[in-house]
Amino acid sequence: MPERRTVALVTLGCARNEVDSEELAGRLEADGWQLVDDAADADVAVVNTCGFVEAAKKDSVDALLEANDLKGHGRTQAVVAVGCMAERYGKELAEALPEADGVLGFDDYSDISSRLQTILSGGHVEAHTPRDRRKLLPLTPVERQAAAAEVALPGHGAPEDLPEGLAPASGPRTLRKRLDDNPVASIKLASGCDRRCSFCAIPAFRGSFISRRPSDVLNEARWLAGQGVSEVVLVSENNTSYGKDLGDIRLLETLLAEIAGIDGIERIRVSYLQPAEMRPGLIDAMTGTDKVVPYFDLSFQHSAPAVLRRMRRFGNTDQFLELLAGIRAKAPQAGARSNFIVGFPGETEADFAELERFIGSARLDAIGVFGYSDEDGTEAATLDGKLPEDVVADRLARLSRLAEELTAQRAEERIGSEVLVLVESVEDGVVEGRAAHQAPETDGLTTLLGADDAEVGRYYRATVVGTEGVDLVAEATERFVPGADA
C-alpha cells in the first residue's frame, strides 16, 4: 500500500482565512491526503496568504520563503501559495517569487487535490490570472444567490460537496476539517463586500457581498459543537449586511437566536460591523440574546467628516459616540473595539485632532492604529493631498501612544466587575483565557487566579482584581457549568 501524501496548511491573516484553510483541509482529507501540523513533515506546504496591507504581504512572502527553505532538507518537495495575496496578484506573484511551485486562486479550491498532485508529480499548473471578482455576480444583491453556484466562494463549502461515505451518515455534515482543538472557532457568514471604501482593495479580489444560507451556518455550528467548540465567532467582510441578498436584512437577528439554541455552543461573538449599517434591532439582539456576548467590533476608521468622505464612508465623532452610548445603555459592560487609519490623503491637523477627540471619549477596549499607505488598485492611491511619510509616522506614533494609554484606562475601569472567562491555555501553573469583551488574538487576555482545576475549554466566573495594559487579572469565584443554572 503506497504511503499517503502529506500536506501542511500554513495560515496567515484574519479569521476568514482560517476558515478557508479548514475548508481546504476538509477537501484534501476527503481525497486521501494526510494533514500534518509542521511543513517540514509535509510533501506539500500550502501557504494561505494575506494580501490586505504591505506588512501582511511581507509576512506572506516570508512564510513562502521559509517553507521553500525546507526543500532538499527533509520531506518537503513543493510549496504552494493560495489565499488573498495569490488571488490578488496571481501570475505577478509567481514571476516575482519563483520559489513558489504554484500560485493558485480561489477558482482552484474545488480541485485543490488534483492541483497539488500535479505539482507534487513535477507537472505545471498555470498561475492564477487575477480578475475583478465584483463582476462575477449580479449587481443587484437579491439576484446573486441563483448565480452563486457558479462562483468560487471560499469558506462556503456546502454539505453536498462532500463525497458520499466520508462523513457521518447522520448528524451535521460540513466541508471542513479542524486544524486545532481550540474551544473557539470562526464561522463564515458571508464573503465579499459591496462597500467602496477608497482605501480598500478587498472587494476587487474577494468579490461582491454574498450571504451563506442560514441552514449551512447552523449545520456548521452544530458540527463545530460536536468537535468540542463552545464559542463561535461569526466573520465576514461585513456582518451587518448579512441577509440583504436573501431578502431579509434582519436575518442575522433571527440567526443569532437559532445558533444560541444549539447544544454545546455557550458563547457567540459577532465581528466586523459597519457603524453606518448598525440598526436598533441588531443592537437589541446582540445585547439581549442569551449566549450572544455584547461585543461590538465597529469599523470606524476615522471620525473627522472630511476624511470619512474621502474614504467614501459616513458618520462623524458625535454620531459614533451616540452609537456607543446607545449600546452601553443596553449593556453597560459591553466590549467595543475599532481600527483607525491616520495620515489619509488630505487629513489636516484639525482632522487628526478630531480623531483624537473621538478616541478620548469613546472608551474603547481595543484600538488598532495604522498609518496610511497606497494600496494597488484603490481610489485612495490616486487622490491628491498625500502627506509626507514623516508626518504619517508622527501621527501614527502619537495616536498609538494615546490608544495604549486609553485602552489601559478602560481595562482599569473593569476592576471589581464580574467576568465569565473561557480558559484557552494552562501552562506551568498559569491559566489564561478571555472574558466576553475580549476577542481571540486581538483584544487582550485574562489571567485567571485561584482556578486550580482549570482545563482548556472550561468557563469560570471571576472578579477582576488587576490589569496589565489591556490584559486583566481576575480571581476565580466559581466554575461555570453550562446548563446548571437552567
Binding residue ranges for [4Fe-4S] cluster: 14, 50, 84, 193, 197, 200
Binding residue numbers: 14, 50, 84, 193, 197, 200
Instruction: Extract long-range pairs of 449-457: CB within 8 Å, 24+ residues apart.
Output: 449/473, 449/474, 449/475, 449/476, 450/475, 450/476, 451/423, 451/476, 451/479, 453/479, 454/423, 454/426, 455/423, 455/426, 456/183, 456/423, 456/424, 456/425, 456/426, 457/183, 457/228, 457/230, 457/422, 457/423
Cell of 420: 465569565
Q: Answer whether 159's CB lies under 8 Å from 219's CB.
A: yes
State how far the Cα of 75 lies from the Cα of 87, in Å rounded to an integer.
27
Residues 365-391 as b/e (b if ≥16 CB within 10 A, e otherwise) read: bbbebbbbeebeebbbeebeebbeeeb
**DSSP symbols for 216-255:** HHHHHHHHHHHTT--EEEEE-S-GGGTTGGGT-TTHHHHH
From residue 103, give the alpha-carbon distance in Å to each of 83, 112, 191, 348, 451.
9, 11, 21, 41, 47
